[in-house]
Amino acid sequence: MVRVLVNGACGRMGQAVLAAVLADSELELVGAVDIRGGMDAGELVGKEKSGVIVEKDLVAALANHKPDVMVDFTRPDVVFGNVCTALKAKVSPVVGTTGLSEEQKDRIRKLSEECGTPAFIAPNFAIGAVLMMLMSKQAAKYMPHVEIIELHHDKKLDAPSGTAIQTAQMISEVRESMKQGHPEEKEKLAGARGAEYDGMHIHSVRLPGYVAHQEVIFGGLGQTLTIRHDSMNRESFMPGVVLACKRVRELHGLTVGLDKLLD
């Protein structure tokens, strides 16, 4: 039985994680933390009382409940501190909060090794999103001209999304760096061509009604190829979260990407 603490329990993703952990016979919910506290975690997600009360103090909750895993869906401005706190308490973080810099990931990797406690970060926990990224990496070998459009709800705080950045990183591994578009191209409005990663353009859309969506568009001579993934609800991420909770303690150091856990 894997003992799990959910950090960011009252958020939309946090509540979905609570429900998933409570429903899985191999996971035990032992703690829940959020800046809003006081309610029973089971009742929070519309289930019977769990006996786990949402607390406000992460350090105290980790010390008192001694979880094996901390699932973090909080905010980009606090996630790094949360991960470091968990690692120092010998608790493995499973992180879905995006916005961590490469420098922060390097520091987490070092701390994880120093503490002898594995850590796991995934920009996207949806199995379909992982397949979309893997297929895009394969396609880029043959169609290197590519742009990425990611679409999320208007409450998302970081742009571009972690999924878009990881997709671009994976594509850059298999294609030569190039500056796409006309060499004399000029933006009439700053940002019109989106962000740039290794010559690829990434465009972020933020609108109510979306959950998490991405399309990767490849262009070639007389043809285009579009690979798209859509998450219609937050439950789509839960199989990946549950898998990471069960597997993270088998890992070493920092692991990034759900694809590392798939056969």
Percentages helix, strand, coil for the chain (3-state, rounded to 5) are 35, 25, 40
Query: Which of 65, 156, 201, 246 does the annotation list as catalytic?
Result: 156
Is 110 a catalytic site residue?
no
Q: How is 124-153 classified by DSSP, letter by letter?
A: ---HHHHHHHHHHHHHHTT--EEEEEEEE-
Is 260 a catalytic site residue?
no
Q: Which stretches of 167-259 are assigned E, i.e. beta strand?
A: 195-197, 200-206, 212-220, 223-231, 254-256
Query: Which of 65, 152, 203, 213 does the annotation list as catalytic?
Result: 152
Q: The tokens of 58 are what?
A: 């992460």
Angle of helix 238-247 versus helix 12-23 axis, rounded to 10: 60
Token pair 């998490």 in the structure block, residue: 212
- Show which residues are catalytic: 152, 156
